[in-house]
Structure 1
Amino acid sequence: MASLSACAANTNRAPIVDRYNPSEQRPDYYVVSRGDTLFSIAFRYGLDVQGLAAANTIRAPYTIYPGQRLRLREGRVPAPRPSVSTKPIVASKPPPKAVSKSPSKPKTPPLQSAPANESWRWPAAGPVLRAFVATSQAHKGIDIKGKMGESVKASRSGTVVYAGSGLVGYGNLLILKHSERYLSAYGHNRRLLVKEGDIVKAGQVIAELGDSGTDTAKLHFEIRVDGKPVDPLRLLPRR
């Protein structure tokens, strides 16, 4: 009887959605929710974060608030200012009321970029289960086979700009920013070992491989250039 009950329970499980399908028409606007960052919103809708910020007149460090309405398009990116910090800010509460005096705050450190000549590294040791398909609207990276709890490593040095489970189909997800153009993403983790704002080195263990948001233990890995997915196998070393 126990076996029959288990089988019945399995047949009633909700189907696993591999990840958000961008083939659905992108809405014109998005209302910010608690836990969002501008990076996670740009990632979800396939936009360049700097272009999204420009379209909404948001300056670094890209502070957003729950309930804020964002235009989902890319604006003209202004010339960069070297002294401006771009540490990601998580949407958590409305802006504080203005006061006549406020204590001075320490300066926010800028995002750590990967050295220009730093090579990409494999984020997990297993074989590729599913390759990148340029024409696919739903699968924008590669899946790497693994076992529960195995190490997931940073493919390049950079800064954690998103750590959470708010993007449908990615499970526990990390997004790293390596430069103004390059991001990498690590999905379906069992446990995240770094948090937003952390600076990581290439090869550093950043998560434990898992099956969150999917039906088997694997790592979903993506590389984005100017917000657009590219084939990771073109950048990773041959093995």
Structure 2
Amino acid sequence: MARRRAFCAFERRQAVKLARIFFAVLACASLAGCAASYRAPVVERTVARPSTAKPAAPPAEQRPESYTVKRGDTLYSIALDNGLDYRELAAWNNISDPAAIKAGLVLRMRPPGQAVAAQPEGGAQVHPEARVQVQPVTVPGSVEARSLGADPRAAVEPRAGTEPPRVASDLKTGPKAMKLPYSEENLAMLLRQAPAAPTPEPVPPQPSAEDGQDTVAWIWPAAGRVLAGFSEATNKGVDILGKIGDPVFASASGRVVYSGTGLRGYGKLVIIKHNQTYLSAYAHNSNLLVKEGQNVVRGQKIAEIGNTDSSQAKLHFEIRRLGKPVDPLKFLPDRPS
């Protein structure tokens, strides 16, 4: 009996040990499962960044609308100082003799009508000279303007006891239209009968400041060395040494807007207009080989070096941007040493 009790007690102790071992193993397994590394799914998203596009370039400097002639001015010098063709300037101001201008005369510096800006809203119009806005006046009893698509019969209400006026849309000029059921065949027939829409004429692109106006391929106009550089106070260009009769070349392609001796201190002078921005001037020549209005190409011989209005034989060369002198050495290519 005592042995049986001892055996039962032993079995209970063993069962408790097994239970403890089981629960210990289960707890370790749970802890191991929780401690295992788990990576959450990552979704890459692209963050929209603000555009880094460069702001639009500011518009080019505009020349004044008018200029008051001062003592000593000539039409040629005014045109050169403002980057204009003196013949255009004369035409804008109805000047028949360029040498007949007097001090105090106010000249228009832009083509007629160019100074008018965009029309104001509401149908107002601006007169280019007086700059007075003209507003449309609505008078009681006046006929109201309507678009072409509006019903003309709705514009006028007939008075009581009077017959409404007949309009063009009341007149039948053809048989009554017939509605057809939808089908591929009927649709194709209607498309064939419909009049073709007029093709709009292509509008030529307007020139802008970015259409090559500031892009000029310059070359040296003469082969001599530079005698004097650019100075805003004393020298509006560069002086290039040469011998009488040496060739003078067009520094860039363009149109000759002046060829003569009308500007004091320049001698025999040639001015070439390359675009709406740049002019080039070639002074003190002994012989002029081009005429006004003639188109020239870069490198073409246009004159010969001389000493007219100068103490020595040289070429005085200027580049003007919108009439303002700029340093030609900043535009001309480097010479090989």
Rounded to whole Å, the distance in 1 between the matches of 2:305 and 2:280 is 16
2:235 aligned with 1:204: no
Residue 126 of structure 1 is matched in structure 2 by 224
Q: CA deviation at 1:40?
A: 4.7
Q: CA deviation at 1:144?
A: 0.2
Q: Does the aligned pair in 2 maintain the 1:30–1:71 contact within 8 Å?
A: no
The within-5 A match list for 1:1-239 is 28-29=68-69, 40-43=77-80, 46-49=81-84, 58-59=91-92, 64-66=95-97, 67=100, 70-71=105-106, 74=109, 78=114, 117-134=215-232, 136=233, 138-239=234-335
Rounded to whole Å, the distance in 2 between the matches of 1:200 and 1:48 is 18
Q: CA deviation at 1:133?
A: 1.1
Q: CA deviation at 1:160?
A: 0.5
Q: CA deviation at 1:42?
A: 1.7
SS at match of 2:258: strand
Rg larger in 1 or in 2? 2
Rounded to whole Å, the distance in 1 between the matches of 2:262 and 2:254 is 21
RMSD: 3.4
Aligned letter for 2:69? Y
Q: CA deviation at 1:180?
A: 0.7
| 1:27-72 Cα deviation digits (max 9, x unpaired) | 93269x9xx7x555321xx23438xx78x9x54xx86311356525
Cα gap change, 1:48 to 1:184, in 2 (>3 Å) = closer
Which sections of structure 2, spanning at least 5 residues, go unmatched?
A: 1-66, 116-210
Aligned letter for 1:164? G
SS at match of 2:333: coil
Q: CA deviation at 1:119?
A: 1.2
Q: Does the aligned pair in 2 maintain the 1:39–1:161 contact within 8 Å?
A: no
Cα gap change, 1:115 to 1:148, in 2 (>3 Å) = farther
Rounded to whole Å, the distance in 1 between the matches of 2:294 and 2:110 is 28
SS at match of 1:49: coil
TM-score if structure 2 supplies the norm length? 0.44
Cα gap change, 1:29 to 1:39, in 2 (>3 Å) = closer
Cα gap change, 1:217 to 1:196, in 2 (>3 Å) = same
Q: Does the aligned pair in 1 maintain the 2:83–2:279 contact within 8 Å?
A: no
| 1:57-114 Cα deviation digits (max 9, x unpaired) | x54xx863113565257569827xxxxxxxxxxxxxxxxxxxxxxxxxxxxxxxxxx9
Q: What percent identity do the matched residue pairs reach?
A: 49
Q: CA deviation at 1:157?
A: 0.3
Rounded to whole Å, the distance in 2 between the matches of 1:63 and 1:172 is 27
Cα gap change, 1:132 to 1:68, in 2 (>3 Å) = closer
Rounded to whole Å, the distance in 1 between the matches of 2:297 and 2:83 is 23
Aligned residues: 167
| 1:124-174 Cα deviation digits (max 9, x unpaired) | 00010000013x1x4200000011100000000001100001111100000
Q: Provide runs of 4+ in structure 1 moved above 6 Å.
A: none
TM-score if structure 1 supplies the norm length? 0.60
Which sections of structure 1, spanning at least 5 residues, go unmatched?
A: 1-26, 80-113
Aligned letter for 2:326? V
